[in-house]
Amino acid sequence: MSSRDGDFTRREFMTKPLTYLASASLLGLGGEGMLMAMDSASAPKLIVRPLGKTGISLPIVSMGVMNAEAPGLIVRAWEAGIRYFDTAPIYLGGRSEEMIGQVIRQLGVRDKAVISTKATVRGTGRREPAETKADTLASLDASLVRLQMDHVEVFLLHEVNSTRSVADAGIQEAMTQLKKEGKIRWAGVSTHQNQADVLNAAASGGPWDVVLVGFNYTMSDNQAMIDAMKVCVSKGIGIVAMKTQAGGSNPSRKEVLGNGVAESVRQSAVLKWVLQHPFVTTAIPGVTKFEHIDEDIAVASNLAFTDDERSFLSSNAIKASLEFCQQCGQCVVSCPSRVDIPTLMRSHMYAFQYQNLEHARFTLAEVPKGAGLDVCKSCTTCSANCSHTVNIARKIEALRTLHWV
Amino acid sequence: MPEVFLSLLMITLAPAFLHAQNSAGEPSPVPIPADVQARLAGLLPESAEAGAKPASERQFYSSDLYRYIDGAADAFLGFDLVAMIHQEYETKDADITLDIYDMGKPLNAFGIYAAERSPSYHFLSLGAEGYVSDFILNFFQGQYYAKLSAFSNAGKPAPDLVPLAQAISAKIGTEKSMPAALSILPKEHLVAHSEKFANKSPLGHDFLSPAIEATYLIEGKPVVLLISKASDAAGAAGRVHQLRDYFSKSGKAGPGPDVVPGGFRGSNKYEGEVVFFSSGDYTVLCVNPPPQSDPFLKEVWDHLANPQVNSSF
C-alpha cells in the first residue's frame, strides 16, 4: 500500500503513531497549551487541550460540519488552525462526508487532520450482537468510501441515549476489531439524552476513548452531568462538546436569549462558558458561514469574557429565560409550608429539561414526608422571593402533573 | 407492585405528558397556533397495515424543535420551519416513525428536502419528489416535508413505507409540482437531483441570500452554478461588486469572458476559480468552470434573459 496525495496509509497509520502525532503538530502536551495556526504567522495562537488518553491535543474549538454546505468553509477553518472535523453519514445525505474527504485530499493534509464520523445503529442492546456488530462495521466502510479515506481518527456510536447501547456486545466487538484493523484510532459515543447515565456507563469500561456530549449554559445546574464528565476524564476519556450554543442560532431562541444583543456576542459568550470548563477538550459549534469561523477562532485564542459578554450572561432577561434553580434553599425559608423546593426543582429539571422521567420520580421520592407537593398551597410566595427569578410556582404546577400520573 | 404499575404508566404516558408542557408554558415561549396544529394533525394517515401507537403524537414549534432533533433543528429553522408533527405506528413486524414538517411554502420544503438528499438515492414518483434509502422514505409536496423511517423486528424485512407515504400525499392534496423558482436553472447538462435552495448564506456568504444552485456536467467535469436573487437589478449588480471586492481581497479578480457582459473572473483558495455576473435581478456564480465553458455561460445568460423564466423566489 503506497502513500498517495499526502495521505497516510493504514499501515503507516498503525505502525507510526508517534510520527503521526508529531506531524500533526498536536503532540500531547499533558495539559493546556497554545498552538500557532500553522498556515499564517499572524494568526492568533489557539488554546489546545489534551483529548483524554489519546495522546493528542486539540485546539479548543473544532468544526461541526453537519450543515456546512460550502467546501470553502472547511478550507478557511483549516487555515485558521482548526484540526478536528466532526461529521456523520446522515449529514446532508452523505454529502458532508464526501465534501470533507474531497477538501482534505485537495489540501493534502490527511496526516494532520483529525476526522470524526459516526454510525447510527438501531436496536442496540435489543438485537443480536452479531447484527449490531455487522451494522457498525458496514456503516464505517460506507463512510470511508464517501470520505475517500482508509481510516478515521474518531468513530462514534451515534445518538446513544441509554446505557444498554454503551454495553452492547456487538458494538464493543466492532469497535475493538476496527481499532485492530487500523480503520479507526479511537472509539466513542455521542449522546443527547440521559447523558449522565451514558457517560458513566462509558467510563465504567469498554473500548471508549472519546465522548461527544451536549453541553451548554442551560446545564449549569446539572451536577450529575458535570460529575459524569469529570468521571470520564478521570478514566482517560476525552470530552468533545456539542450543542454549545444551546439553540442560540435559532431565530426564535434569540428572542428568548436577548434581543438587542449582537449575535456575535451571544455566540461567543455561550461558547466561552462551555470552554471555561477545563474538562472539555474541544467544542464543535456548527459553521455555515465564514463569519462563524472568525468568531470561533477569536474564542479559541482568548476565553476571557468581554464586558458585553459578561453583561449578556448576567442579565436578568437571560437568567429569567434560563430559570436556573441554584439550590440555594432561600425559598424554603419563605415558604409557609416549608416545602422542600430545591428537591422539587431538581425533579422538575430531570422531568422537563432532560426528559428523564424515571430519574425525576426517584428524585421526587427523596422529598421528606410533609415537605412535598401535597403540602404546597400554590401561594406563589416562593416565586416572588426567588433571587434567581425562577418561576417556582409554575414548575411545581407542572410537577403536579407528574405526581398525579 | 403499585410502584411497577406507576412506572409503566409514566413511561406509557410520557409523550403526552411532555407535550402537555407546552400548554403549561414550560419550554415553549410561543404556543403552536390552533389552526397549525389542526392542519398538521389532519395530515396523519389512517392505515390498515400500520396502527398508530396511542399517545405517541407530539408537535414541535420552531422554538422547541431542537428538543426533538437536537442540532439538526438548525437546518430546518434555516428554511423557516413553521411547526412539525410526530406520530409513531406499528405493524406486526416493525415500528414506523412519521415526521411531517410544515415549512410554510413549497420552496422552503424543497430546500430542506434537497439539503438532506443525495443524487445517489433511489427516487420515487411520490409527492413532488421523494426517495427511499435503507429504512427511510422522504418526500416533499407543497409546503410539507414528510420523513418516514422503519425499524423491523429481528430477522424481519423492512416494511414497505410507500403505501403510508401515499396516504399522506393524498391528504396533502393533488398539487405535486416542483417549486416554480427552479425554472431559473437551465436544463441542459444539469445533473439530476442536484438542485438546492440556499435560503441562508449560500457558499458561506450572507449577502448572496437567497439562491438556487445546481451541479452541471461540462466537458465531463462538475460545475456548480449558483443563481442569487436580489430585490432588483441594482441589488444584483451590487452583489457583483461585493463579490469582486471579496475576491480581490482573498485572491484576485479581473474581467470576465465576453459572453457575460460586465462579468468578472475571480479566484481564491476557498471557492477556487469562479465567473460571476448579474442579469436582471439575478447574480450568477459559476464555480470552477472548465476552460471551454463559454458556451455554457452563454446558455445561462440567454436563459436568464428569457422573460418566461419565473422570477419568484
Q: What percent of chain B has pLDDT over 90?
A: 58
When scoring A364, A401, A402 by the number of chain B Cβ atoms within 10 A, the one with the most, hence best to mutate, is A401
pLDDT per position as a tens digit, A39-95: 445 567 899 999 999 999 999 999 999 888 899 999 999 999 999 999 999 888 888
Question: Residue A164: its pLDDT value, please?
Answer: 93
Spatial distance between the Cα atoms of A215 and A222, rounded to a whole number of angstroms: 10
* Nearest Cα residue to B252 out of B243, B261, B240: B243
- Amino acid letter at B78? G
Burial A137-160 (b: 16+ CB within 10 A, else e): bebbeebbebbbbbbbbbbbbbbb
Nearest CA in chain A to B208: A289
Mean pLDDT of chain A: 82
- Kindly report, residue by residue over B210-220, the tens digit of the pLDDT: 999 999 999 89
Q: Min CA distance, B307 vs chain A (Å)? A: 31
Are A290 and B204 a contacting pair at CB < 8 A? yes
Overall average pLDDT of the A385-405 stretch: 72
Q: Measure in Å the smallest separation between the Cα of B116 and chain A Cα atoms.
A: 4
- Chain B CB contacts of A247 under 8 Å are 66, 73
Contacts of B194 in chain A (CB under 8 A): none
Smallest Cβ–Cβ distance between B151 and the set A123, A253, A395 belongs to: A123
Q: Looking at the predicted structure, is the pLDDT value of residue B69 above 90?
A: no
| pLDDT number for residue B55 | 63
| pLDDT at residue A202, as a whole number | 98
Give the CA diameter of chain B: 84
Share of chain B above pLDDT 70, in %: 82
Query: A132: which 3 cell numbers?
Result: 449490531
Report d(CA B306, CA B283) in Å as an integer: 15
pLDDT for residue A108 is more than 90: yes
- Residue B191: is its pLDDT beyond 70? yes
In this predicted model, which residue has the larger pLDDT, A172 or B88? A172
* Cα separation of the two ends of chain A: 63
pLDDT band at B6 (very low <50, low <70, confident <90, very high): very low
On chain B, the residues whose CB falls within 8 A of the CB of A402 are 10, 17
Task: Identify the residue whose cell numbers are 400500520.
Answer: B50
Pick from A224, A343, A359: which is nearest to B7 by CA?
A359
- ipTM for this model: 0.75
Rounded to a whole number of angstroms, the distance from the CA of B308 to the nearest CA of chain A is 30
Any A CB within 8 A of B193 CB: no
A158-171 pLDDT, tens digit per residue, is 989 889 999 999 99
Least confident of A239-253, A284-298, B265-279: A239-253
Higher pLDDT, A59 or A248: A59
Q: State whether residue A263 sits within 8 Å of chain B by CB.
A: no
Structure confidence at residue A255 as a pLDDT band (50, 70, 90): very low
Contact (CB, 8 A) for A74 and A284 = no
Helices within B42-161 (DSSP H only)? 66-69, 73-78, 106-116
pTM of the model: 0.76
> Judged by CB atoms within 8 Å, which residues 311-340 of A form the interface with B?
none
- Domain locations in chain A? 10-313, 332-400
Q: Are A234 and A208 in contact (CB under 8 A)?
A: no
Q: Is residue A290 less than 8 Å (CB to CB) from chain B? A: yes
pLDDT digits (tens, 9 = 90+) for B10-24: 333 333 333 333 333
Which among A252, A286, A288 is the nearest to B204, CB-wise?
A288
Which class for A377: exposed (0-12), middle (13-18), buried (19 or more C-beta within 10 A)? exposed
Give the pLDDT band of residue A380 (cuts 50, 70, 90).
Answer: confident
What is A10-313's CATH number?
Answer: 3.20.20.100
The predicted model gives A128-152 an average pLDDT of 96
pLDDT digits (tens, 9 = 90+) for A257-272: 555 667 778 888 889 9
- Asked if A118 contacts A89 with a C-beta cutoff of 8 angstroms, the reply is yes
pLDDT at res. B58: 72
pLDDT score at A42: 55
Of residues A311 and A296, the one with the higher pLDDT is A296
pLDDT given at position A403: 45
Task: For residue B183, give the C-alpha cell.
Answer: 425554472
Q: Taking 80 as the threshold, does the pLDDT of residue B127 lie above it?
A: yes
The lowest-confidence range among A93-97, A150-154, A281-285 is A93-97
pLDDT band at A365 (very low <50, low <70, confident <90, very high): confident
How many of the other CB atoms lie within 10 Å of CB of A292? 23
- Tell me, what's the pLDDT at A20? 37
A216 Cβ neighbours under 8 A, 6+ residues apart: A241, A243, A244, A245, A246, A270, A273, A274
Q: How far is B271 from chain A (nearest CA, A)?
A: 5
Q: In this structure, are residues A212 and A243 in contact, taking their beta carbons and an 8 Å threshold?
A: no
Mean pLDDT confidence for B229-255: 96
Sheet of A45-50, strand order: A33-36, A45-50, A57-59
